[in-house]
Structure 1
Protein backbone atom coordinates (compact mmCIF):
# COMPACT_ATOMS: atom_id res chain seq x y z
CA UNK A 1 0.00 0.00 0.00
CA UNK A 2 2.84 2.42 0.81
CA UNK A 3 4.40 1.92 -2.64
CA UNK A 4 1.02 2.39 -4.33
CA UNK A 5 0.37 5.60 -2.36
CA UNK A 6 3.77 6.97 -3.34
CA UNK A 7 3.10 6.26 -7.01
CA UNK A 8 -0.27 7.99 -6.84
CA UNK A 9 1.35 11.14 -5.43
CA UNK A 10 4.15 10.99 -7.96
CA UNK A 11 1.92 10.82 -11.02
CA UNK A 12 -1.17 12.71 -9.87
CA UNK A 13 0.19 16.06 -11.11
CA UNK A 14 -1.40 17.91 -8.18
CA UNK A 15 1.21 17.43 -5.46
CA UNK A 16 4.92 17.73 -6.19
CA UNK A 17 7.41 17.22 -3.38
CA UNK A 18 10.28 19.68 -3.69
CA UNK A 19 12.29 21.98 -1.44
CA UNK A 20 12.93 24.78 -3.91
CA UNK A 21 10.91 26.24 -6.76
CA UNK A 22 11.90 28.92 -9.25
CA UNK A 23 8.97 30.30 -11.26
CA UNK A 24 9.48 30.77 -14.98
CA UNK A 25 10.24 34.14 -16.51
CA UNK A 26 6.89 35.44 -17.71
CA UNK A 27 6.61 37.09 -21.16
CA UNK A 28 8.07 40.57 -21.49
CA UNK A 29 5.18 41.91 -23.58
CA UNK A 30 1.73 41.03 -24.79
CA UNK A 31 -1.46 42.43 -26.24
CA UNK A 32 -3.68 41.32 -23.37
CA UNK A 33 -3.68 39.56 -20.02
CA UNK A 34 -4.05 36.21 -21.76
CA UNK A 35 -0.61 36.60 -23.33
CA UNK A 36 0.98 36.48 -19.85
CA UNK A 37 -0.72 33.29 -18.66
CA UNK A 38 1.71 30.41 -19.05
CA UNK A 39 0.78 26.70 -19.26
CA UNK A 40 -0.10 25.25 -15.84
CA UNK A 41 -0.63 28.76 -14.42
CA UNK A 42 -3.81 30.77 -13.99
CA UNK A 43 -4.68 34.38 -13.25
CA UNK A 44 -5.71 34.64 -9.59
CA UNK A 45 -6.55 38.34 -9.58
CA UNK A 46 -5.73 41.61 -11.30
CA UNK A 47 -6.11 45.37 -11.01
CA UNK A 48 -6.06 48.13 -13.60
CA UNK A 49 -5.00 51.76 -13.32
CA UNK A 50 -2.37 54.31 -14.26
CA UNK A 51 0.94 53.65 -12.47
CA UNK A 52 3.48 55.70 -14.42
CA UNK A 53 1.58 58.94 -14.95
CA UNK A 54 0.93 58.70 -18.71
CA UNK A 55 -2.87 58.63 -18.22
CA UNK A 56 -3.06 55.09 -19.64
CA UNK A 57 -4.34 52.19 -17.55
CA UNK A 58 -1.60 49.73 -16.57
CA UNK A 59 -2.03 46.26 -15.06
CA UNK A 60 -0.99 44.40 -11.93
CA UNK A 61 -1.50 40.63 -12.05
CA UNK A 62 -1.15 37.81 -9.55
CA UNK A 63 -0.41 34.51 -11.27
CA UNK A 64 -0.79 31.20 -9.43
CA UNK A 65 0.63 27.79 -10.28
CA UNK A 66 -2.06 25.14 -10.68
CA UNK A 67 0.04 22.51 -8.90
CA UNK A 68 0.59 22.24 -5.15
CA UNK A 69 4.11 21.74 -3.85
CA UNK A 70 6.36 22.05 -0.83
CA UNK A 71 8.02 25.42 -1.41
CA UNK A 72 11.02 26.70 0.51
CA UNK A 73 10.24 30.33 1.31
CA UNK A 74 12.71 33.21 1.84
CA UNK A 75 12.13 33.17 5.61
CA UNK A 76 13.34 29.56 5.79
CA UNK A 77 9.91 28.00 6.26
CA UNK A 78 8.40 25.36 3.97
CA UNK A 79 4.84 25.88 2.78
CA UNK A 80 2.55 23.37 1.10
CA UNK A 81 0.70 25.48 -1.43
CA UNK A 82 0.75 26.96 -4.92
CA UNK A 83 3.46 29.52 -5.76
CA UNK A 84 2.25 32.98 -6.73
CA UNK A 85 3.92 35.64 -8.85
CA UNK A 86 3.22 39.38 -8.97
CA UNK A 87 3.52 40.93 -12.43
CA UNK A 88 3.35 44.67 -13.12
CA UNK A 89 2.71 45.73 -16.71
CA UNK A 90 2.85 49.17 -18.32
CA UNK A 91 0.67 49.77 -21.36
CA UNK A 92 2.27 51.50 -24.35
CA UNK A 93 -0.23 54.18 -25.43
CA UNK A 94 0.82 53.95 -29.08
CA UNK A 95 1.12 50.21 -29.72
CA UNK A 96 -1.47 49.15 -27.16
CA UNK A 97 0.86 46.39 -25.95
CA UNK A 98 1.66 45.73 -22.31
CA UNK A 99 5.30 45.62 -21.23
CA UNK A 100 6.41 43.77 -18.10
CA UNK A 101 8.30 46.12 -15.80
CA UNK A 102 8.40 43.95 -12.68
CA UNK A 103 8.13 40.29 -11.73
CA UNK A 104 8.25 39.37 -8.05
CA UNK A 105 8.26 35.66 -7.25
CA UNK A 106 8.03 35.61 -3.46
CA UNK A 107 6.24 38.68 -2.05
CA UNK A 108 2.65 37.47 -2.54
CA UNK A 109 1.78 35.10 0.30
CA UNK A 110 0.55 31.61 -0.55
CA UNK A 111 -2.39 29.64 0.74
CA UNK A 112 -1.21 28.01 3.95
CA UNK A 113 0.82 30.98 5.18
CA UNK A 114 -1.95 32.57 7.19
CA UNK A 115 -1.67 30.40 10.33
CA UNK A 116 -5.19 29.79 11.68
CA UNK A 117 -6.63 31.57 8.63
CA UNK A 118 -4.80 29.65 5.88
CA UNK A 119 -5.51 32.14 3.07
CA UNK A 120 -3.71 35.39 3.93
CA UNK A 121 -3.80 37.09 0.53
CA UNK A 122 -6.24 39.98 0.44
CA UNK A 123 -6.14 41.96 -2.79
CA UNK A 124 -4.19 44.23 -5.08
CA UNK A 125 -5.52 47.59 -6.20
CA UNK A 126 -4.33 50.65 -8.09
CA UNK A 127 -5.44 54.15 -7.12
CA UNK A 128 -3.81 57.56 -7.56
CA UNK A 129 -0.77 55.89 -9.21
CA UNK A 130 -0.19 53.75 -6.12
CA UNK A 131 -0.18 49.95 -6.08
CA UNK A 132 -1.71 48.63 -2.86
CA UNK A 133 -1.09 45.01 -1.80
CA UNK A 134 -3.01 43.81 1.25
CA UNK A 135 -3.07 40.70 3.42
CA UNK A 136 -5.67 39.54 5.94
CA UNK A 137 -5.07 37.19 8.84
CA UNK A 138 -7.44 35.88 11.49
CA UNK A 139 -6.95 38.81 13.90
CA UNK A 140 -4.59 41.11 12.04
CA UNK A 141 -3.92 42.74 8.70
CA UNK A 142 -1.14 44.38 6.70
CA UNK A 143 -1.04 46.53 3.56
CA UNK A 144 1.78 47.95 1.46
CA UNK A 145 1.74 50.96 -0.87
CA UNK A 146 4.17 51.17 -3.79
CA UNK A 147 4.69 54.11 -6.16
CA UNK A 148 6.72 54.06 -9.36
CA UNK A 149 9.61 56.50 -9.05
CA UNK A 150 13.27 56.45 -10.05
CA UNK A 151 12.41 53.54 -12.37
CA UNK A 152 11.42 51.32 -9.44
CA UNK A 153 8.38 50.59 -7.34
CA UNK A 154 9.20 52.21 -4.00
CA UNK A 155 7.49 51.43 -0.69
CA UNK A 156 5.97 54.77 0.33
CA UNK A 157 3.60 53.52 3.01
CA UNK A 158 2.44 50.54 5.02
CA UNK A 159 -0.20 49.75 7.61
CA UNK A 160 -0.36 46.90 10.05
CA UNK A 161 -2.47 46.09 13.06
CA UNK A 162 -4.55 43.57 14.90
CA UNK A 163 -6.40 42.48 18.00
CA UNK A 164 -4.92 40.32 20.76
CA UNK A 165 -6.40 39.69 24.20
CA UNK A 166 -9.02 42.46 23.72
CA UNK A 167 -6.24 44.92 22.94
CA UNK A 168 -6.00 46.80 19.64
CA UNK A 169 -2.74 48.03 18.09
CA UNK A 170 -2.26 49.79 14.76
CA UNK A 171 0.65 51.30 12.86
CA UNK A 172 0.43 53.58 9.82
CA UNK A 173 3.81 54.33 8.20
CA UNK A 174 4.53 57.13 5.75
CA UNK A 175 8.04 56.59 4.42
CA UNK A 176 7.92 59.74 2.31
CA UNK A 177 7.69 61.87 5.47
CA UNK A 178 9.50 59.41 7.78
CA UNK A 179 6.62 59.42 10.25
CA UNK A 180 4.38 56.74 11.70
CA UNK A 181 1.08 56.95 13.56
CA UNK A 182 0.85 54.44 16.42
CA UNK A 183 -2.62 53.71 17.89
CA UNK A 184 -3.50 51.35 20.73
CA UNK A 185 -6.11 50.61 23.35
CA UNK A 186 -8.88 48.24 24.36
CA UNK A 187 -11.48 46.84 21.99
CA UNK A 188 -14.20 48.59 23.99
CA UNK A 189 -12.46 51.99 24.00
CA UNK A 190 -14.40 54.70 22.18
CA UNK A 191 -11.13 56.35 21.14
CA UNK A 192 -7.70 54.81 20.86
CA UNK A 193 -4.59 56.39 22.32
CA UNK A 194 -2.16 57.59 19.70
CA UNK A 195 1.29 59.07 19.15
CA UNK A 196 3.49 59.98 16.22
CA UNK A 197 6.88 58.32 15.86
CA UNK A 198 9.88 59.29 13.77
CA UNK A 199 10.93 56.56 11.35
CA UNK A 200 14.72 56.30 10.92
CA UNK A 201 14.67 55.45 7.22
CA UNK A 202 17.08 57.34 4.99
CA UNK A 203 16.24 55.58 1.73
CA UNK A 204 12.99 54.18 0.38
CA UNK A 205 12.92 50.43 -0.02
CA UNK A 206 11.90 49.03 -3.38
CA UNK A 207 9.43 46.22 -3.97
CA UNK A 208 12.31 43.93 -4.90
CA UNK A 209 13.98 44.63 -1.55
CA UNK A 210 11.05 43.02 0.25
CA UNK A 211 11.24 39.27 -0.18
CA UNK A 212 8.13 38.65 1.94
CA UNK A 213 5.62 40.64 3.97
CA UNK A 214 6.34 41.11 7.66
CA UNK A 215 10.07 40.66 7.23
CA UNK A 216 11.33 44.20 7.95
CA UNK A 217 11.81 45.41 11.54
CA UNK A 218 11.31 49.07 10.78
CA UNK A 219 11.23 50.03 14.48
CA UNK A 220 12.24 47.99 17.55
CA UNK A 221 9.72 45.14 17.84
CA UNK A 222 7.62 46.58 14.99
CA UNK A 223 7.73 44.42 11.89
CA UNK A 224 5.99 45.11 8.61
Structure 2
Protein backbone atom coordinates (compact mmCIF):
# COMPACT_ATOMS: atom_id res chain seq x y z
CA UNK A 1 0.00 0.00 0.00
CA UNK A 2 2.95 2.34 0.46
CA UNK A 3 4.01 2.29 -3.21
CA UNK A 4 0.78 3.82 -4.66
CA UNK A 5 0.96 6.64 -2.10
CA UNK A 6 4.62 7.23 -2.95
CA UNK A 7 3.90 7.49 -6.69
CA UNK A 8 0.93 9.80 -6.12
CA UNK A 9 3.12 12.15 -4.08
CA UNK A 10 5.90 11.96 -6.68
CA UNK A 11 3.54 12.77 -9.55
CA UNK A 12 1.88 15.58 -7.60
CA UNK A 13 5.24 17.12 -6.78
CA UNK A 14 6.27 16.98 -10.44
CA UNK A 15 3.06 18.66 -11.54
CA UNK A 16 3.53 21.48 -9.04
CA UNK A 17 7.13 21.99 -10.13
CA UNK A 18 6.14 22.04 -13.82
CA UNK A 19 3.20 24.41 -13.37
CA UNK A 20 3.70 27.53 -15.45
CA UNK A 21 3.40 30.95 -13.84
CA UNK A 22 0.14 32.73 -14.63
CA UNK A 23 -0.35 36.48 -14.58
CA UNK A 24 -3.37 37.63 -12.58
CA UNK A 25 -6.55 38.95 -14.13
CA UNK A 26 -6.78 42.51 -12.88
CA UNK A 27 -9.87 44.26 -11.57
CA UNK A 28 -11.78 45.89 -14.40
CA UNK A 29 -12.75 48.86 -12.24
CA UNK A 30 -12.53 50.28 -8.73
CA UNK A 31 -12.89 53.59 -6.95
CA UNK A 32 -9.81 52.91 -4.81
CA UNK A 33 -6.26 52.77 -6.15
CA UNK A 34 -5.23 50.31 -3.44
CA UNK A 35 -7.67 47.75 -4.85
CA UNK A 36 -5.95 47.83 -8.23
CA UNK A 37 -2.78 46.10 -7.01
CA UNK A 38 -3.26 42.30 -6.86
CA UNK A 39 -2.06 40.14 -3.99
CA UNK A 40 1.70 39.38 -4.00
CA UNK A 41 2.42 42.30 -6.33
CA UNK A 42 3.94 45.71 -5.52
CA UNK A 43 4.07 49.08 -7.29
CA UNK A 44 7.50 49.90 -8.75
CA UNK A 45 6.45 53.16 -10.38
CA UNK A 46 3.29 55.15 -11.04
CA UNK A 47 2.16 58.20 -12.99
CA UNK A 48 -0.99 60.31 -13.27
CA UNK A 49 -2.13 62.21 -16.35
CA UNK A 50 -4.66 62.36 -19.18
CA UNK A 51 -4.24 59.36 -21.50
CA UNK A 52 -7.52 59.37 -23.45
CA UNK A 53 -8.00 63.10 -24.08
CA UNK A 54 -10.90 63.57 -21.64
CA UNK A 55 -9.01 65.89 -19.25
CA UNK A 56 -9.24 63.37 -16.41
CA UNK A 57 -6.28 62.17 -14.34
CA UNK A 58 -5.75 58.61 -15.52
CA UNK A 59 -3.30 56.24 -13.83
CA UNK A 60 -0.39 54.13 -15.10
CA UNK A 61 1.41 51.56 -12.94
CA UNK A 62 4.39 49.25 -13.21
CA UNK A 63 3.88 46.23 -10.97
CA UNK A 64 6.34 43.53 -9.89
CA UNK A 65 5.67 40.05 -8.49
CA UNK A 66 7.03 39.29 -5.03
CA UNK A 67 9.29 36.38 -6.04
CA UNK A 68 11.32 35.13 -8.98
CA UNK A 69 9.83 32.54 -11.33
CA UNK A 70 10.82 30.97 -14.65
CA UNK A 71 9.87 33.14 -17.62
CA UNK A 72 10.33 32.71 -21.37
CA UNK A 73 11.63 36.07 -22.55
CA UNK A 74 12.16 37.35 -26.08
CA UNK A 75 15.46 38.34 -27.67
CA UNK A 76 15.36 39.36 -31.32
CA UNK A 77 12.43 37.79 -33.16
CA UNK A 78 9.85 36.93 -30.50
CA UNK A 79 8.49 34.04 -32.56
CA UNK A 80 11.68 32.00 -32.59
CA UNK A 81 14.10 33.35 -29.98
CA UNK A 82 12.89 32.65 -26.45
CA UNK A 83 15.26 32.33 -23.50
CA UNK A 84 14.11 31.00 -20.15
CA UNK A 85 15.15 33.21 -17.26
CA UNK A 86 14.43 33.19 -13.54
CA UNK A 87 13.34 36.64 -12.42
CA UNK A 88 10.43 38.61 -10.99
CA UNK A 89 7.63 39.15 -13.54
CA UNK A 90 6.43 42.69 -14.22
CA UNK A 91 3.29 44.26 -15.66
CA UNK A 92 2.45 47.59 -17.25
CA UNK A 93 -1.07 48.66 -16.30
CA UNK A 94 -3.20 51.69 -17.16
CA UNK A 95 -6.58 52.76 -15.81
CA UNK A 96 -8.79 55.49 -17.26
CA UNK A 97 -10.48 57.73 -14.70
CA UNK A 98 -14.19 57.77 -15.52
CA UNK A 99 -16.36 59.52 -12.97
CA UNK A 100 -15.13 58.39 -9.56
CA UNK A 101 -13.85 55.03 -10.80
CA UNK A 102 -10.67 53.75 -12.41
CA UNK A 103 -11.41 51.45 -15.36
CA UNK A 104 -8.84 49.04 -16.77
CA UNK A 105 -7.49 50.20 -20.14
CA UNK A 106 -4.22 48.27 -20.44
CA UNK A 107 -2.51 45.20 -19.03
CA UNK A 108 0.78 44.26 -20.68
CA UNK A 109 2.76 41.38 -19.19
CA UNK A 110 5.76 41.42 -21.54
CA UNK A 111 7.07 44.87 -22.40
CA UNK A 112 8.57 46.05 -19.11
CA UNK A 113 12.18 44.91 -18.72
CA UNK A 114 12.87 42.84 -15.61
CA UNK A 115 15.44 43.74 -12.97
CA UNK A 116 18.06 41.34 -14.39
CA UNK A 117 17.87 42.67 -17.95
CA UNK A 118 20.04 45.76 -17.57
CA UNK A 119 23.47 44.10 -17.67
CA UNK A 120 26.14 45.25 -15.22
CA UNK A 121 24.30 48.54 -14.72
CA UNK A 122 21.61 46.64 -12.84
CA UNK A 123 17.99 47.79 -12.79
CA UNK A 124 17.07 48.90 -16.36
CA UNK A 125 13.78 50.62 -15.52
CA UNK A 126 14.43 54.36 -15.39
CA UNK A 127 11.08 56.02 -15.59
CA UNK A 128 7.34 56.03 -16.23
CA UNK A 129 5.47 59.24 -16.98
CA UNK A 130 2.40 60.70 -18.68
CA UNK A 131 2.93 63.87 -20.69
CA UNK A 132 0.82 65.47 -23.44
CA UNK A 133 -1.58 62.48 -23.46
CA UNK A 134 1.31 60.07 -24.05
CA UNK A 135 2.61 57.21 -21.93
CA UNK A 136 6.41 57.36 -21.70
CA UNK A 137 8.81 54.59 -20.66
CA UNK A 138 12.58 54.79 -20.20
CA UNK A 139 15.16 52.01 -19.87
CA UNK A 140 18.94 51.95 -19.58
CA UNK A 141 21.61 49.25 -19.36
CA UNK A 142 24.80 47.70 -20.71
CA UNK A 143 28.40 47.33 -19.62
CA UNK A 144 31.29 49.23 -21.20
CA UNK A 145 28.99 49.91 -24.14
CA UNK A 146 25.68 51.21 -22.82
CA UNK A 147 22.23 51.87 -24.20
CA UNK A 148 19.25 54.05 -23.46
CA UNK A 149 15.75 53.36 -24.75
CA UNK A 150 12.82 55.77 -24.58
CA UNK A 151 9.31 55.06 -25.86
CA UNK A 152 6.12 57.08 -26.14
CA UNK A 153 2.76 55.37 -26.67
CA UNK A 154 -0.55 57.09 -27.37
CA UNK A 155 -4.07 55.72 -27.08
CA UNK A 156 -5.49 56.05 -30.61
CA UNK A 157 -8.48 54.25 -32.11
CA UNK A 158 -8.70 51.93 -29.09
CA UNK A 159 -5.08 50.77 -29.23
CA UNK A 160 -1.76 51.90 -27.75
CA UNK A 161 0.35 53.04 -30.70
CA UNK A 162 4.08 53.67 -30.53
CA UNK A 163 4.43 57.29 -31.71
CA UNK A 164 8.06 58.18 -30.91
CA UNK A 165 11.16 56.35 -29.71
CA UNK A 166 14.80 57.07 -28.99
CA UNK A 167 17.72 54.62 -28.96
CA UNK A 168 21.13 55.82 -27.72
CA UNK A 169 24.17 53.53 -27.87
CA UNK A 170 27.42 54.86 -26.38
CA UNK A 171 30.78 53.99 -24.82
CA UNK A 172 30.99 55.10 -21.19
CA UNK A 173 34.73 55.87 -21.42
CA UNK A 174 35.33 57.27 -24.90
CA UNK A 175 31.90 58.86 -25.25
CA UNK A 176 31.48 57.46 -28.78
CA UNK A 177 27.76 57.60 -29.50
CA UNK A 178 24.98 56.83 -31.97
CA UNK A 179 21.61 58.39 -31.16
CA UNK A 180 18.60 57.34 -33.25
CA UNK A 181 15.37 59.32 -32.89
CA UNK A 182 12.25 57.79 -34.41
CA UNK A 183 9.00 59.61 -35.22
CA UNK A 184 6.33 57.14 -36.33
CA UNK A 185 3.73 59.86 -36.94
CA UNK A 186 5.81 61.99 -39.31
CA UNK A 187 7.71 58.84 -40.44
CA UNK A 188 11.21 60.23 -39.96
CA UNK A 189 14.39 58.89 -38.37
CA UNK A 190 17.13 61.25 -37.21
CA UNK A 191 20.59 59.78 -36.56
CA UNK A 192 23.16 61.68 -34.51
CA UNK A 193 26.74 60.36 -34.53
CA UNK A 194 29.55 61.73 -32.39
CA UNK A 195 30.28 62.03 -28.69
CA UNK A 196 27.87 61.85 -25.79
CA UNK A 197 30.13 64.36 -24.00
CA UNK A 198 29.93 66.93 -26.86
CA UNK A 199 26.35 66.56 -28.05
CA UNK A 200 25.90 70.00 -29.64
CA UNK A 201 29.42 70.79 -30.79
CA UNK A 202 30.90 68.34 -33.29
CA UNK A 203 28.19 65.73 -33.76
CA UNK A 204 26.86 64.89 -37.22
CA UNK A 205 23.11 64.65 -37.83
CA UNK A 206 21.34 62.87 -40.67
CA UNK A 207 17.59 62.65 -41.26
CA UNK A 208 15.83 60.06 -43.42
CA UNK A 209 12.34 58.89 -44.25
CA UNK A 210 11.23 56.09 -41.92
CA UNK A 211 9.64 53.24 -43.86
CA UNK A 212 7.61 50.60 -42.03
CA UNK A 213 4.56 48.53 -42.95
CA UNK A 214 2.52 48.64 -39.75
CA UNK A 215 2.71 50.77 -36.62
CA UNK A 216 3.66 48.91 -33.45
CA UNK A 217 1.27 48.72 -30.52
CA UNK A 218 1.69 47.48 -26.97
CA UNK A 219 -0.33 44.40 -27.89
CA UNK A 220 2.13 43.17 -30.52
CA UNK A 221 5.42 44.84 -29.46
CA UNK A 222 6.49 42.12 -27.07
CA UNK A 223 9.65 43.58 -25.58
CA UNK A 224 12.37 46.23 -26.15
CA UNK A 225 14.99 45.19 -28.73
CA UNK A 226 12.58 42.87 -30.59
CA UNK A 227 11.53 45.13 -33.48
CA UNK A 228 13.96 45.54 -36.39
CA UNK A 229 12.58 48.88 -37.57
CA UNK A 230 15.05 49.17 -40.44
CA UNK A 231 17.93 46.88 -41.33
CA UNK A 232 20.14 46.36 -38.24
CA UNK A 233 18.24 49.06 -36.33
CA UNK A 234 16.38 47.59 -33.34
CA UNK A 235 14.03 49.07 -30.79
Place the TM-score, normalised by the shorter chain, in its bin: 0.7 to 0.9
Give the Cα–Cα distance (whole angstroms) in 1 for the partners of residues 61 and 233 of structure 2: 29
Report how many aligned residue pairs link the two structures.
207
Task: Indicate the RMSD between aligned Cα atoms, in angstroms.
Answer: 1.8
Q: Name the counterpart of 2:211.
A: 200
Matches of 1:63 and 1:55, distance apart in 2: 25
TM-score by length of 2: 0.83
Are the equivalent residues in 1 in contact too, given 2:95–2:103 (CA < 8 A)? yes
- Using the TM superposition, give the Cα deviation of residue 187 of structure 1 relative to its aligned residue in structure 2, in angstroms: 4.8
Name the SS for the 1:34 alignment partner. helix
Gaps of 5+ in 1: 1-15
Does the 8 Å contact 1:21/1:72 carry over to 2?
no
Over 3 Å off, 4+ runs = 16-20, 186-189
Once residues 67 and 164 of structure 2 are traced to their aligned partners in structure 1, the CA distance between those partners, rounded to angstroms, is 33
Cα distance change of structure 1 residues 114 and 27 upon mapping to structure 2, 3 Å threshold: same
Structure 2 counterpart of 1:134, from 133, 138, 141: 138
The corresponding residue for 2:118 is 114
TM-score, with structure 1 as normaliser = 0.87
CA contact (8 A) 2:128 2:135 kept: yes
Q: For each residue in 1:83-134, what CA deviation from the matched residue of structure 2 results, as whole angstroms up to 9, or x when unmatched?
A: 00011110103xx100001100010010111122231111110000010011
Asked if the contact 1:79/1:112 (under 8 Å) is kept, the reply is no
User: 2-side partners of 1:18 and 1:136: how far apart?
Assistant: 33
| Higher-Rg member (1/2) | 2
Mapped partners of 1:216, 1:102: distance in 2: 21
2:40 alignment counterpart: 40
Structure 2 residue matching 1:206: 3-state secondary structure:
coil
